[in-house]
Every structure is written in C-alpha cells, then in structure tokens.
Structure 1
C-alpha cells in the first residue's frame, strides 16, 4: 500500500537537480535577503509591491515601495537595465509578487521573488521598519 506522497514516483536525481537549480533562478528567501542586507552585500533593489498604506505600516528596512500596478519604465528609469529587482508582498497568500515579476520581466528587467513576503520575514524573527 502506498501513500499519497509516494504514489507518484519521485523524479530521477538529474531531473530533480535541474528543477531545484532552476527554482533558485526565480526566487530567493527571507534568510538570504536578510543576510545580504545585514552584511552590506545588497547587490539588488528590494521592492515592496504592496500598497503605500501597508508599506507605511511596516516594511523591510532598505526596501523601496512601488505597488505592483505602478511598476513601469518611468518608475525604474534611475536603475540600469542590469539591476536585479527582488520583489515581495504580504506573504504566500498574496500574488502581488507574481504580478510585479511579470511586469518587470516584460520590461526586460532581471527579477526574483522573495518567497514568504512580510509573513515569512516575521516568521523568521526579523523585524519590520516603520
């Protein structure tokens, strides 16, 4: 008797390696962002894509606020085309990061999502700035 977990066999190791390496091209996590910010290794622009009111109520220190509907070439003109943007929103229940990533990708900008968003940040024990 098999479980729902093993009913569909796991991928072979090479396929798994390719899949998980590919994921890291699209996303990062709260720990890696926190480490970069805490150790002066911020080689990206951290973008909070929530509305202004939510940003003002609490955000990750060092982030800028551009709500995802307002991401456009005019708002990004001060950044080179090679600038890496890391986007985050409220948390796993919010698809604002995906909407923002789509907009940035359509503009030809490098982008990754920070998985977990604000919820993940707080869950990891990190503080928000006001």
Structure 2
C-alpha cells in the first residue's frame, strides 16, 4: 500500500466536497454545515445556491465572526473549476479557526447538474448537462 497516496487522497476528501454531496445534504434538510458563496456581489446577483450565505472572500476577516458559528462546519464555493476563489475563501476561514471544506465545481457545476439556482426573481433550473449527470460517483 502506498501510504503517501492514502494520506493525499484522504486529505482531499477531508477538505473537499462536490456539488452532488452538497445537494444531497441540503435535500436531507439537515446539511450540518453553512454554505458560503465567496463571489462578488455582482456574481451573487446573477444567481446563487439556495440556502447559501453571501460572504465574499475579501470580507471574511471582518465579517465571519458576526455571521458564522465557530462550532458549525463551513463549505465554500465560487464560480467553478477554473477559479480558485473557493480555495482562497476556505483558507481565510481555516486561518480563523473554522472547520471548512471547498465545494469542487462551484456554481458552474451546480448549474450543470440541473440543481436549483436562486435569483431575486425566484428559483431557476437548467437542463442537466449529459456530460456531468451520469457520473454516479
């Protein structure tokens, strides 16, 4: 057994989650974490994951303590896999002592999976992307 590989992949699973797991947790009614959208106000206005809390990365040091219970884990997301905003937000929260995971795929893959997106006008749904939905992992 390659213990370096075991350590590496176990750490990834400890610190990362994906859109399917976040959706399943929210669907259960008791996700056990707070979902943080770390994008800008302009991006938030275009649509966000229902139930997410808007906390842009740059505001985390000043606002996290007023918004978050340190005893409740946090999951961060940003735009998608071509962006490291969720990673930066997770790092900022970890530096403040929060238990945190990064949601892989961001709002892009959330939308591609056909999960609901909230706007000021209500919920919207996109047709699931046939390249992402059948993963089944």
Alignment TM class, shorter chain as reference: 0.7 to 0.9
Question: How many Å apart are 1:20 and its aligned residue?
Answer: 1.6
1:49 and 2:38 matched:
yes
Q: Which has the higher contact order (CA 8 A, sep 6+)?
A: 1
If you compute each CA radius of gyration, which structure gives the higher value, 1 or 2?
Answer: 1
Name the counterpart of 1:102. Answer: 91
CA 1:27–1:102: 2 relative to 1, 3 Å: same
Report the RMSD for the aligned CA atoms in angstroms: 1.5
5+ residue gaps in structure 1? 1-11
Equivalent of 1:68 in 57, 61, 69: 57
Aligned residues: 119
TM value normalised by structure 1: 0.83
5+ residue gaps in structure 2? 120-137
TM value normalised by structure 2: 0.79
Structure 1 range deviating more: 49-58 or 77-86:
77-86
